[in-house]
Amino acid sequence: MEAAFGAGDGDDEATAVVSKGQASLGQIFEQKYRPWEGKLGPRWMRNYAIYRHHVYGIFTSKGHRQYHPMVRLMILVIFLASLTPIPMLFLSSLTGDGGGFLEKMWGINRYNLWGQILGYFPRNLCMWPLLTAIVVGGMISDDRQNGTSAIYFSRPISRIDYTAMKFLSVAVILAFVIIFSYFAYYTSAIVFRAEGWAFLADTLPMFLGGILAGLALVFTYTSIGLALSSISQSRFFAAIGFLSIIYGTKLVSLLVELQFETTFLYAISPYDCLAHLGQFALGLPPNYDHPLSFSVVSLISMNVVSIWILVNRVTSLEVTRE
């Protein structure tokens, strides 16, 4: 303040004396901009940072996304529930129930492999949609609400990388629960029953068909969930919107089938399109009267529209808080 107001004679005038040539006595503020001359990390490292922020946040909160403890608990419960057939397989192997009730209920066959991925109850009624909803809820909507996009795009991160890593993060979390539990079920059945190479050769095509159905489910649920998350600033809207689409289309299609005895409207239901494709992949007789091509075209259209919405909304993200 010495430079601005002085400290000698004339203080009673209460006027600044900077104009009298005393500004050299001090300086209030000086701002200098210097370009950063450090070395940028490679592109994969920046992308991995986004992926790690979301995926590692399930296990630890330090330096990663803050998942609510109840969300972590629900993911754990869903994961353990998806592994419940494995203890039944173990019990069947202990009791020597070869070809018996437990073997028919929990053993390896086309229907059980299909049920592990696309069974309506409990997996696609209680588990997979709920898992997707709690994961995608704030994946992009939090960035829109809190202005986190300013942090992302102020660094050398392209919007393509941002979208791809968000998509990959959700897909990996879903695949860890869905595909891993399916793989654990299949391998446990072989180990517990001490099956040989002939059994593996007979069941491997069915197993690969289930993997294809599971990957299609993970991709479709991820694209729809992220599209809803990108158009909102509330994680609640994205989660409820996803559940509404899955359950709403299923319920409307079921009512139309009961009233008019036609399965054509199931083409608007993501679950039923996936179930139709899964039945074909596993060689099961379909539960639908309409051709498989309708379900495949509808499934492709759902993913294309969802990804278009996601990309378009990410493109509109500003480097400021919205």
Flag the least confident range among 22-26, 144-148, 225-229: 22-26
Left (φ > 0), alpha (ψ -120 to 50) or beta: where does 109 sit?
beta
Instruction: List all residues 6 or more positions away from 211 whose beta carbon is below 8 Å from its beta carbon.
Output: 179, 182, 183
Question: Quick check: helix, strand or coil at residue 164?
Answer: helix
Classify residue 26: in a domain, yes or no: no
The residue with greater pLDDT, 23 or 233, is 233
Classify residue 23: in a domain, yes or no: no
Classify residue 155: in a domain, yes or no: yes
124-172 pLDDT, tens per residue? 999 999 999 999 988 998 888 887 877 788 778 889 999 999 999 999 9
Cα–Cα distances (Å) from 149 to 40, 101, 102, 144, in that order, read 19, 55, 52, 7
Q: For the chain, how many structural domains are there in total? A: 1
Q: Is the pLDDT of residue 199 over 70?
A: yes
Classify residue 17: in a domain, yes or no: no
30-61 pLDDT, tens per residue? 667 677 677 778 889 989 999 999 999 998 87
Classify residue 1: in a domain, yes or no: no
238-250 pLDDT, tens per residue? 999 999 999 999 9
Classify residue 179: in a domain, yes or no: yes
Instruction: Please give the full DSSP string across 101-149, using - where no structure is assigned.
Output: HHHHHHSSSHHHHHHHHH-IIIIIIIIHHHHHHHHHTTTTHHHHHHTTH
Give residue 267's identity as a one-letter amino acid code.
Answer: A
What is the domain range of residue 207? 41-315
Cα–Cα distances (Å) from 280 to 120, 122, 134, 206, 276, in that order, read 16, 21, 30, 11, 6
Classify residue 158: in a domain, yes or no: yes
Say what the pLDDT of residue 64 is. Answer: 86
Q: Is the pLDDT of residue 73 over 90?
A: yes
Model pTM score: 0.86
- Residue 6: pLDDT band (50, 70, 90) is low
Q: Is the pLDDT of residue 12 over 90?
A: no
Q: Could you give the CA distance from residue 153 to residue 43 in angstroms, rounded to a whole number?
A: 14
Classify residue 296: in a domain, yes or no: yes
